[in-house]
Amino acid sequence: MSIVEKFMIMDYGPAPEDPREALAWLDRHGRRFGHFIGGTWQEPLAGNHFDTNDPSTGEKLAAVAQGSVVDVDSAVKAARTALPAWQALTPHARARYLYALARQVQKHSRWLAVLETLDNGKPIRESRDIDIPLVARHFYHHAGWAQLLEQEFPGYSACGVVGQIIPWNFPLLMLAWKIAPALATGNTLVLKPAEFTPLTALAFAQICQEVRLPAGVVNIVTGDGSTGEALVKHPDVDKIAFTGSTEVGRAIRKATAQSHKKLSLELGGKSPFIVFEDADLDSAVEGLVDGIWFNQGQVCCAGSRLLMQESIAEKLIGKIQDRMNTLRIGSPLDKAIDIGAIVARVQLDRIQRLVNQGVAEGATCWQPAIPLPSRGLYFPPTLLSNVHPTSVVAQQEIFGPVLAAMTFRTPREAVELANNTVYGLAACVWSESINVSLHVAEQLKAGVVWVNCTNLFDAACGFGGYRESGYGREGGREGLLEYLEPTWFKQAPTLHPTPLAIDQPPEPPADVAAPAIDRTVKLYIGGKQARPDSGYSIEVRAADGSLLGEAPLGNRKDIRNAVEAARKAEAWGKVTAHNRAQVLFYVAENLSLRREEIAARLSAVVGKKQAEAEVSLGIERIFSYAAWADKYDGAVHNPPFRNVALAMKEPIGTVGIICPLDAPLLGFFSLAMPAISAGNTVIAIPSEKYPLITGDLYQIFETSDLPDGVVNIVTGRAAELMKTLAEHDDVDAIWSFTDEASAASAKILSVGNLKQVFTNEGRAIDWFDVKQGEGRWFLDHAVQVKNIWVPYGE
């Protein structure tokens, strides 16, 4: 073929990357690796190894240590030993170490990129141009946070020893997402890389040695799921950070429920890619290529569900098929290819199985006529059209280069389809109308929304999910908070529960005649007083054993009714922050008007002094959250692209609150007010010690313009009601502030839909101390941050 003919055809020829440096590094280690513990390489104590292979050829790359319980214990001990000295360093000294790591990653960038591609199978241009630069960016960014930590997070301290478990789709980038904020905040850590892709984590261990990071600050233990399980269950680990499947996330939630480990989960996704009829279709197609075929579709936030406005569906499908015909599949080390190898045989088989199931359920499968390599693990880019919204390929995460296409007619229908999964990790919206784009983005249940762009990430911008895509964030200010806790809370003593009067009522004094029951309160559901479904009440007694009245004995049906009422009131989250503040001010005003009578009734249970303090501080606390309502807002990030990222603080949704026992009024306001201030609706279980407070509360709410259903109150036995709340799939979060057993139960029982759980971990909180009983810590748990990326410029 002549030069002119080649110029006219413009076919890409092979452009192989030279792997010699990466292979030479493997050879220098004898193609055999131990664990990195305490700053040195250590052989596994059980002596077991497993092979890691190049998925594009099937060839063995190296033998890697299989971590055992004993290996994990050794690594955790090394991290614990290193913790005091690491935390004793000045913020500047820790910042220097993170800066050195960033510089060293840049120095070794080509070697790291090649090693990543060999081990993972992703195209070298993705490793080289996207992954490794972002790794360096995260260490640079968090070096800055380390420098500013004490100024920006006063009163917070590191969790301690952190266990981190990362997936195989972005091995080194996920390492950076986890390690950089952990080190910046003063934690030491044990990291377990994915079984399929451990090599760049081991290379990073060498980099830690090169920068002379103190021994034991970073420990890397390789192995399969049993190694990760040992790390999760280790009693001396203070926090677990996990990225992976939702199924494993549930198992980790259960395994850590009865511990005090802090937990962050970044899990699966089934992200919608929404294209409106006014969109630039050619740009949308290029975005789609990046959204679903980037890294062979092995991306948790992959735009795997294409939602097209009906009027442009046929035209868009044609453009997508034309573009798919030009995609190149081949050796990942070829700089001219678009799609590399699937990471492992088990993943390749899963992709094929789900595609077959989707076709069996009525989808039409189309694949371009492009050749696949004769060896290695490859799957062609695949378009499934005519997909029903309930099909397995529209609901389950495939984690491969498979796109499921559906149509919609109106923006409202697009939002309904987009939110029609259990996941909520990311979404894309394509429209030339910024009004339409932001209107839709605001309604999507997703932690990240890209407008007219896709798969943009930056260390300054938080990333994480809603619903069963997990909770917690990676990156940004909110990502740092995952590795910090209020210092007072870490030091708080264990709460010793007091026996409840309703369970073991003391005998009244012999010389006191039993008083008449002067009041019987009702439940408060949907803005109305309601009788309990059970038809029963429970006695409420004063400190001296005298009978004060009766409170309804709520049950499952009452909780169900309360959840329905709370869901109907979700428009509260759309009310302006100013209007929410006004309502809270009214609540405080009405409580103030009834200060003396409420305190008088409460004093029979807690004493006059505490009762007066609870009412006075309750008024102040409501005022505080009224003040916060229009001030606890988001941010505008300026990542190093032509984009702004709008970090929007959104309400979590419907929150179940189990109130503390010993501060019946103040405890209620200390938890319910931050939740509703942020726009959530609430089902509250008041203190069993004095549930009669419900009568005073609903009288206050009814006269304060609080919309029906924003606050619902169900009295009864807290443990039974909490179980129903925790298991209810229409409740988004559980706040439990009673004893340690209740905290553990809340975590275990709510694993079904992976509710966010906020508890006192069985620790005593002084609700009368403003530093402990109110503020940002509570508000941080009342919101989830959505980052909306908006491009600008021509």
Residues with active-site annotation: 266, 300
**293 touches 381 (CB < 8 A):** yes
The CA distance from 749 to 747, in Å, is 6
Contact 33, 123 (CB under 8 A): no
Burial of 645 (0-12, 13-18, 19+ CB in 10 A): buried
The secondary element (H helix, E strand) that includes residue 24 is helix 20-28
Q: Which residues contact 497 (CB under 8 A, 6 or more apart)?
A: 661, 738, 739
Cβ partners under 8 Å of residue 186, min gap 6: 86, 87, 94, 149, 157, 158
Q: Identify the sign of the CA torsion 567, 573, 578, 584.
A: positive
The H-or-E segment that residue 79 falls in is helix 69-88
Give the angle 228-233-235 at the CA atoms, nearest 5°.
Answer: 130
Question: 693-702 and 595-606 helices cross at what angle (nearest 10)?
Answer: 160
Could you tell me the two tokens for 127? Answer: 């490793």
Token pair 């940002």 in the structure block, residue: 776
Give strand ranges (E) for 217-267: 218-220, 239-243, 262-266
- Cα–Cα nearest to 450, from 460, 459, 441: 441
CB 132 within 8 A of CB 122: no
With residue 713 as reference, give the H or E element that holds it. strand 711-713
CA–CA separation, 415 vs 273, rounded Å?
Answer: 11
* 216: region left, alpha or beta (phi > 0 left; psi from -120 to 50 alpha): left
For residue 12, give Cα distances in angstroms to 15, 381, 414, 514.
8, 19, 38, 94
Q: Which two tokens stand for residue 16?
A: 């192989």
Angle among Cα 254, 255, 259 to the nearest 5 degrees reads 105
Three-state DSSP class for 162?
A: strand
Burial 81-110 (b: 16+ CB within 10 A, else e): ebbeebeebebeebbbbbbbbbbbbbebbb
Name the helix (H) or strand (E) containing 287: helix 281-292
